[in-house]
Amino acid sequence: MELLGANGARGLSHPKVDRHAGVPDGTTSFYFRTRKALVQAIAERLTELDLADLSLLTSMT
């Protein structure tokens, strides 16, 4: 998510994610075969985090 925020979707690649995460080359492409799948997984994770934050906020009222 940090790379996406810093470089935008066009700057996101499997090798960059691998290096940033400190995992062996090819790790992200093993789990997310395409760049589209990688971006989709990031979007899903961001949605999960936003919903969790919203749930926390609504429980405080």
Residue of higher predicted confidence among 12 and 7: 12
The pTM score is 0.72
Multiple choice CATH, 2-56, 1.20.1260, 2.120.10, 1.20.1070, 1.10.10: 1.10.10
Cβ neighbours of 14 (radius 10 Å): 19
pLDDT tens digits, 10-32: 778 999 999 999 999 999 999 99
In whole angstroms, how far apart are CA 19 and each of 25, 32, 37, 45?
Answer: 7, 15, 18, 20
Contacts of 11 (CB under 8 A, 6+ apart): 3
pLDDT band at 56 (very low <50, low <70, confident <90, very high): confident
- Domain range annotation of the chain: 2-56
